[in-house]
Amino acid sequence: MNYELNDRALFSVEEAIDIADELKIDVHELINGARVLDFGVKARGGLDAGIMLGSICMSNLGDVFISHREIGDITCPHVNVSSDHPVAACLLSQYAGWSINVDQYFAMGSGPMRAAAVVEPLFDKLKFREKANTVVGVLESHQLPTEKVARFIAEKTNVEPDDVVLAVAPASSLAGSIQVVARSVETAMHQLLELGFDLDHIESAVGTAPLPPIAADPLTGIGWTNDAILYGARVNLWVSCEDTVLEEIGPKVPANSSEKFGQPFMMLFEEAGRDFYKLDPSLFSPAVVTFHNLSTGKTFQFGEVRPDILKQSFGW
């Protein structure tokens, strides 16, 4: 299927620009013509901005909404996401696999621009690349990108700088926090990819994770949003395969498959010298993953939620 990911995301970008005041976001045009949508760096943003940012990140191939749910004895807002195209929405688009580091500017890059840049091994595994006229990216950063950043992304994606659109928010903003916590399904999908599971078996996906308090600083925001996924996210996947495949791979998918499971993320992050790449990759997964096998009618659930760690982390 030709998803035209960047075109799909651009549709939401244009909508966001049209209702920027309503979303409480700011729109800037850089000197080289690149457009920057501030969802939470200097702009206030909000719930609707976070939902829009999550949709842009998934190239409009997933739905994002907020609800109240219980986790343990806690009732709190949850970020919910669903998709009938989880490989395209979550891995080809949403996954934050592109580290942007230009002239002392750093951001984790996600969104469909990645499919045009193809700088990650993931795209070789999934045999996908996209040629786009305009590229759309989402940057997790506490700074707005410069002309140099936009030019770098333009060069990597084979477009002109004025054909680059970047939506930006830190994890310590309301919109940015929603965008990160909307990655419950994405983390499960990436874990399955790394474990060698045939992603063609996956038909649809639903995920939910608690929305943490909005942190006063970016580092704390990173810690809280990661804890929301590792210790609170619950993902349901509808698949078609042999039950024995799920019985074998299932225990390896949730976050508790990691030996480091059980401590707040910031403790683990500090232990790793604040280097994401030194952390156990199996830790980046939802707390609970449930497989519904469409071929046999059986359901398999793995993992555990840890409200106690969420309370410790969030200060609830």
pTM for the whole structure:
0.96
* C-alpha atoms less than 13 angstroms from C-alpha of 235 in its C-beta half-sphere: 36
Read off the DSSP letter of residue 212: P
Bridge partners of 109, per DSSP, are 98, 139
**Cβ 287 vs Cβ 256: under 8 Å:** yes
Read off the DSSP letter of residue 211: -
Per-residue model confidence (pLDDT) at position 214: 94
The DSSP element (H or E) to which 208 belongs, if any, is: strand 202-210
Per-residue model confidence (pLDDT) at position 213: 95
In sequence order, the 6+-apart residues with CB closer than 8 A to the CB of 151 are 32, 34, 161
CB atoms within 10 A of CB 156: 18
Per-residue model confidence (pLDDT) at position 275: 80
Q: Is 106 exposed, middle or buried (0-12, 13-18, 19+ CB in 10 A)?
A: middle
The pairing of beta strand 98-102 with beta strand 105-110: antiparallel
Across 158-186, b (16+ Cβ under 10 Å) vs e yields ebebebbbbbbbbbbbbbbbbbbbbbbbb
Q: Which of 8, 111, 10 is nearest to 57 (CA)?
A: 111
Domains of the chain plus CATH, in order, are 5-314 (3.30.1030.10)
Lookup: tokens for 273: 């010298």
DSSP 8-72: HHHHHHHHHHHTHHHHT-EEEE-TTS-EEEESSSSS---HHHHHHHHHHHTTTSSEEEEEEEEET
Per-residue model confidence (pLDDT) at position 13: 98
Residue 131 CA to its chain's centroid (Å): 22
CB atoms within 10 A of CB 1: 5
Q: What angle do CA 300, 305, 310 make, to 5 degrees?
A: 165
Residues of the chain with pLDDT under 70: none
Please tell me the distance from the alpha carbon of residue 37 to that of residue 141, in angstroms, as a whole number.
12
Order of strands, sheet of 98-102, starting from the edge strand that comes earlier in the sequence? 26-29, 35-38, 164-169, 135-140, 105-110, 98-102
